[in-house]
Structure 1
Amino acid sequence: MAAVTVADIQLHPTEVRIVDRLSESNSKAKVSSEPSDANQIALLQHDASFQDLIGPAPKHSLLVSTAGSSNNPFFHEACVFLPEHDELYITSNLLQASSSANFPTILISRIKLRRTDRLSGDDSVHTVEWAKMRPPAGIDMPNGGVNYKDGIIFCAQGNASSGTGGLYYMPRGAFPVPLVTNFYGRDFNSVNDVVVAKDGAIWFTDPIYGHEQDFRQRPKLPNQVYRFDPVTGDLRVVADGFGRPNGICFSPDETVVYVTDTDHIHGDGTKDPTRAATIYAFDIHTVSDTPFLINRRLFAFAAVGFPDGIKCDVYGNVYSGCGDGVEVWNPTGKLIGRILVPGGVANFCFGKEGEMFLCAEQKLWRLQLKRDTKGALLGV
């Protein structure tokens, strides 16, 4: 597929609104969860500590948009940043077929970033080169992803055939390598998100969204979280009891695992506000050199919509894509601020020195926060 170049990307100052928490809780007037300008990003500060993260002059830019043209939701999940190459890899939402002869599909976008002079201290992105790619063989209906070695691990949700789906390592410029494709002979449901621990173990979630979206076979396993050791081949279930386990990440010191439960929405589009829109936290307890998850607790409930992708910064603050954009909690579960993005955010990632990339279905945004607000995953 032909690449598209978007040049002359403009950088805009980001509106910051300070919310008095006590007044908000006592007032009948609802605090808006949308920016004042529907074509821009805004920030809601609920706690003074949020100011330490966003800095005195946050800025943002719209990198790519399909709104008003194809309107296709190309910017949905994965959102993996490769700092060595200044590239983003993003998976689309389900794309409907253009004819009855084809099936719905999911594409991968590669976004090459071109920056201004870094020596001057201004390293904002002025141009992007956007290439849409069909997933390589094996990576059927890709969703989440994470940095791994010199490439990316992609979650393959699989298709209607048995024997498809799982985790695939895609080295940059090489063919994908299957890592784990079944649970002792049983197909996974539709692997959704993944994170890699410092010891090399791979943790991932497996909800049943693929079946509900009519591209995956009937589920053969519960909605669960798994840990896979690529050295020994050990594969274990580490957590269950979810409606729809979705995003997953570690605290910076890897003593806590956070998992989002998006049972609020099912794959057929059904929504129920009485179901989980929740982030659960687990402590990692090691027995005989083997990690177990203990002390399951409700860490946070989304203010708007449901929490999808999730990341921590180097300070231990927790960020999750929600119906209003990205909501941010401190390590105690206090909501300290929100990044308001029109239409909400499914997933996102940190880039270099305080930048974030936000996937909003038809739009891909870049937000520049304080330069030392960095993601725990890369720490760049």
Structure 2
Amino acid sequence: MKDGIIIYQQQAGNLFRQKTSAKRLATGFQFAEGPLWHPGGYLLFSDVKANRIFQLFLSGVIHVLRERSGSQYVCGKYLSEMIGSNGLALDNEGDLVFCQHANHSIAKLNKHKDVFKLCTSYNGRPFNSPNDLVIKSDGGIYFTDPPYGLQGEILRPEIFQPHAGIYQFQDNQLSLLSTDFNYPNGICFSADERYLFVGSNHPDEKMIMKYLMSSKGIVLSKQVFASVNADGIKTDAFNNLYAATDKGVLILSPEGKELALIPLSEPATNLAFGGPEKNLLFITTYHSIYSVEMNMVIHDLLPARRNPLPLTRTQLYG
């Protein structure tokens, strides 16, 4: 135990600053997800049930930055209550790219406050409910499409996709990479982008998969990285993998060995690195946002994304 952090391997203690623990920054949300540190100096995140994107400053100031972030509708015949946006990312132009459950889309918000859909369907049928995404340094968008946004959280192949896929969208071309999962969820790359990781938090699907990728985004090989449930996932500069779990954030070594646990009082849903010194780990749970001070500079603020024009409140409202 180190100041509230449970250490399983001694070397894991070096990951954290002295006397650190999870600090709650904000609470009162319905289902927080998709945290993203913006270089403008704030955290963006989704509230999937509330159908909103929020902006949180480290001072504690919070703005609702976009209403109806996942759908213009409050309900739908085939939709669950999880209708909002989910995963968020910045592309190489500094524009916000996000998953929309009820719109069955990957959408983009540019600096001219225009929102448009990048992709909405595969083989002529709408996506289920795009959940999480990661953008590679070459601009490729990789995302998961489980049925969590559909009624009963089950596939409806007569209307939507017959599988819960993992996709690549690059140069306006959509490719199905894998149908290994029934409930694919969190997705991230290793620091060198050679490996793509995908996890599932469904109790009947306890695994994080590791895919060896070609430079063009083709799956060359795959293996089970760890037999654990995970919602959102991220890697750090040393290729340790951080997994949002029901107990908090579980940290795994590059070999899949358990290193440490950041315990939380409610299930973690996702996480992101960032902060003014690029050494904070932000964690979303069902109802709250937390931060933890790390002892490293994080890798995933890529050079092309470090200085996008900051999105203003007006621009995000659209």
TM-score (norm 2): 0.83
Structure 1 residues 39-188: aligned runs within 5 Å: 42-66=4-28, 72-74=29-31, 76-83=32-39, 85-95=40-50, 106-113=51-58, 127-132=59-64, 133-135=66-68, 141-148=84-91, 149-158=93-102, 164-172=103-111, 174-188=113-127
**Corresponding position of 2:264:** 341
Kindly indicate whether residue 239 of structure 2 is the aligned counterpart of residue 316 of structure 1.
yes
Q: Deviations over 1:167-186 (max 9, x none)?
A: 11112561212211111421
For residues 107 and 35 of structure 2, what CA distance do their matches in structure 1 show?
Answer: 16
Q: 1:50 to 1:137 in 2, by over 3 A?
A: closer
| 1:48 positional shift | 1.7
**Corresponding position of 2:178:** 239
For residues 210 and 188 of structure 1, what CA distance do their matches in structure 2 show?
Answer: 10
* Partner-residue secondary structure (3-state), 2:18: coil
**Corresponding position of 1:5:** none
Q: 1:213 to 1:170 in 2, by over 3 A?
A: farther
User: Which letter maps to 2:223?
Assistant: R
Identity over aligned residues, as a percent? 23
User: Which letter maps to 2:19?
Assistant: A
**Corresponding position of 1:296:** 222
Q: Does the 8 Å CA contact 2:199/2:230 hold for their aligned counterparts?
A: yes
**Corresponding position of 1:367:** 292
Q: Does the 8 Å CA contact 1:312/1:377 hold for their aligned counterparts?
A: no
Unmatched segments (≥5 aa) in structure 2: 73-82, 307-318
User: Which letter maps to 2:117?
Assistant: P
For residues 57 and 244 of structure 1, what CA distance do their matches in structure 2 show?
Answer: 37
* Partner-residue secondary structure (3-state), 1:190: coil
For residues 241 and 212 of structure 1, what CA distance do their matches in structure 2 show?
Answer: 22
Matched residues, number: 288
Q: Deviations over 1:43-64 (max 9, x none)?
A: 1111122112113332543211
User: Which letter maps to 1:299?
Assistant: F
Q: Does the 8 Å CA contact 1:136/1:176 hold for their aligned counterparts?
A: no
Q: Does the 8 Å CA contact 1:188/1:221 hold for their aligned counterparts?
A: no
Q: Does the 8 Å CA contact 1:247/1:309 hold for their aligned counterparts?
A: yes
For residues 323 and 65 of structure 1, what CA distance do their matches in structure 2 show?
Answer: 18
| 1:295 positional shift | 2.4
Q: 1:214 to 1:323 in 2, by over 3 A?
A: closer
| 1:143 positional shift | 1.1
Q: 1:131 to 1:338 in 2, by over 3 A?
A: same
For residues 154 and 222 of structure 2, what CA distance do their matches in structure 1 show?
Answer: 32
**Corresponding position of 1:211:** 150
CA RMSD of aligned residues (A): 2.4
Q: Does the 8 Å CA contact 2:122/2:161 hold for their aligned counterparts?
A: no
* Partner-residue secondary structure (3-state), 1:246: coil
Larger radius of gyration, structure 1 or 2? 1
For residues 65 and 348 of structure 1, what CA distance do their matches in structure 2 show?
Answer: 15
Q: Does the 8 Å CA contact 1:190/1:216 hold for their aligned counterparts?
A: no
**Corresponding position of 2:80:** none
**Corresponding position of 1:6:** none
**Corresponding position of 1:223:** 164
| 1:228 positional shift | 0.8
For residues 234 and 113 of structure 2, what CA distance do their matches in structure 1 show?
Answer: 28
Q: 1:298 to 1:215 in 2, by over 3 A?
A: closer
| 1:357 positional shift | 1.1
Structure 1 residues 190-209: aligned runs within 5 Å: 190-209=129-148
Q: Does the 8 Å CA contact 2:35/2:284 hold for their aligned counterparts?
A: yes
Q: Which structure carries more relative contact order (alpha carbon 8 Å, separation 6+)?
A: 2
**Corresponding position of 1:332:** 255
User: Which letter maps to 1:77?
Assistant: E
| 1:206 positional shift | 0.5
TM-score (norm 1): 0.70
Q: Does the 8 Å CA contact 1:259/1:279 hold for their aligned counterparts?
A: yes
* Partner-residue secondary structure (3-state), 2:300: coil
